[in-house]
Amino acid sequence: MRIGVLGTGVVGTTIAAKLRELSHDVLIGSRSASDDALPFANAAAHGELVFNCTSGVASLEALGAAGEENLSGKVLVDVANPLDFSQGMPPRLSVCNDDSLGEQIQRAFPTAKVVKALNTMNAAIMVDPARVPGAHDVFVCGNEDDAKTQVAELLQSFGWPAERIVDLGDITAARGQEMYLPLWLRLMGAVGQPNFNIRAVH
């Protein structure tokens, strides 16, 4: 599959490497083109499906540079967290409570099929869930069932068991997925390292 990965940080490079390992045709997009990355618009135009792995506080601008015409009708997997480190630690969320980054992106690009996914864990776990022993969960949400199905298939190819892919509903559930981050940061402190994830037990 042709996939555009926007963002050259740890999340973007980790996801792009996994997708290439799975034989997808991947182009990486960046604000400033380089040997490894094209402009956002070229990477987005290439993808039948696009991953947003840019910094959450810069995602709307990055997606604007990618171009609505290059996102229209496509599944846009939003992995970003709107973490604002400008006022020091701990980061605050630049949007929360009545809104979320996932919703902002869906409103700004109404013809894209935004699926929020994978933002609740360390990048290494996203593409290799077996790094954490035992059962643990990945959350997805979005307005389009067919888009969530397509993302769930990709997640299964990453190693996620179908029964650990939890559909939280429409894109407004991105509030919950993003507002979990302050707890994640504290759990990282308590666990002592980022190689953990949560599981809903019932």
Residue ranges in contact with its own copies by CB under 8 A: 90, 92-93, 96-98, 132-136, 139, 141, 166-169, 172-173, 175-177, 179-180, 182-187, 189-191, 193, 195-202
Residue 29 identity (one-letter amino acid): G
Output the smallest distance, CB 177 to its own copies, in A. Answer: 7
C-beta closer to its own copies: residue 1 or 200: 200
What's phi and psi for 148, nearest 5 deg?
-65, -35
- Beta-strand pair 2-6/49-52: parallel
Output the smallest distance, CB 113 to its own copies, in A. Answer: 19
C-beta closer to its own copies: residue 161 or 189: 189
C-beta closer to its own copies: residue 68 or 167: 167
Output the smallest distance, CB 131 to its own copies, in A. Answer: 10
Spatial distance between the Cα atoms of 28 and 104, rounded to a whole number of angstroms: 23
Contacts with 58 (C-beta within 8 Å, 6 or more apart), sequence order: none
Cis bond upstream, residue 90 (ω within 30): yes
